Amino acid sequence: MSAGHFPLLRHIEARFRTMTRLRNYFFTGLIVTAPLAITAYLAWSMIGWVDSWVKPYIPLRYSPDYYLPFPVPGFGLIVALIVITLVGFLTANFIGRTVISIGENILGRMPLVRSVYRGLKQILETVLSERSDTFKKVGLIEYPRKGLWALVFIATETRGEVQAQIEEDAGQTIAVFLPTTPNPTSGYLLFVPKADVIELKMTVEEGAKLVISAGLVAPEYQAKTKALAETAQPARSKRTASSRPNR
């Protein structure tokens, strides 16, 4: 190869490095901006959805949109939060509980509405209760067959008729939610023997990230650090005992 070809090769190599660097910059920027953009889009959509429900019921003289040449996003959301908090305050006293009881009695006489209301109320009370351990743990079960493992969110111990019917064969079981990938909001409700569920140390948020990313984003596991700490504990105890003065 003649000497005149080397500048061309260096030029091609420089362009290749430049394109590689630009590609890396692009993917780095995508990793940074995509979550921010998606989060902002979901938040904006949520605010707009609440505003579309609440603003039509606000009198015009109380709405800032009536006085300003542009709509104020989030005003309906603020009003909704205030109204919900006020309802909770009124429900906490005797008069409020009486009114709620009368309303529930009226709804209890409506066949279809009664079932929907009671089901939704029970779900919200279970999810929002501070004393509930619902979906605070992540576990592993063998599904759909032996040797294959699936990530599940542990709900609670099985109760009622379901537990009574399967207790003789399976013993105490746990209700778990098996999410689908990449959408963890859909999945299957399974009743699994308690002994067949392996509880994990990761949080529910970390488990959801693992499901959404199809296993690409795995939480860090400090098993080695924990093993080293357990190994070092006897040595520390021995040093502490040897440093004590003899009586």
Any idea where the domains of the chain sit in the sequence?
137-220
Distance between CA atoms of 12 and 14, rounded to whole angstroms?
A: 5
* Alpha carbon distance 191, 197 (integer Å): 10
Band (pLDDT 50/70/90 cuts) for residue 217 is confident
Res 138: pLDDT: 93
Sequence-distant (≥ 6) Cβ neighbours of residue 132 within 8 angstroms = 126, 156
Which pLDDT score, from 0 to 100, does residue 223 have?
Answer: 56
pTM > 0.75: no
Tell me, what amino acid is at 54? Answer: V
pLDDT at 19 over 50: yes
Q: What is the mean pLDDT of the chain?
A: 81
Architecture of domain 137-220: Roll (2.30)
Q: What is the mean pLDDT of residues 18-27?
A: 88
pLDDT of residue 129: 61
What's the N-to-C CA distance of the chain in angstroms? 88
Give me the pLDDT at residue 127, please: 63
Q: What is the pLDDT of residues 55-113, one digit of tens each?
A: 888 888 888 888 888 888 899 999 999 998 988 888 777 777 788 788 888 878 888 87
- If one compares 11 and 225, the residue with the highest pLDDT of the two is 11
pLDDT for the residue 122: 76
Q: How far apart are CA 10 and CA 3, in angstroms?
A: 12
Residue 234 pLDDT greater than 60, yes or no: no
Residues 17-43 have a mean pLDDT of 88
Q: How would residue 5 be classed by pLDDT, with cut points 50, 70 and 90?
A: low
pLDDT for 238 equals 46
CA dist 109 to 96, 103, 117, 121, 162, Å?
Answer: 21, 10, 11, 16, 27
The predicted-structure confidence for 151-181, as pLDDT tens digits, reads as follows 999 988 888 888 888 888 878 899 999 998 8
pLDDT above 70 as % of the chain:
83
Residue 232 has pLDDT above 50, yes or no: no
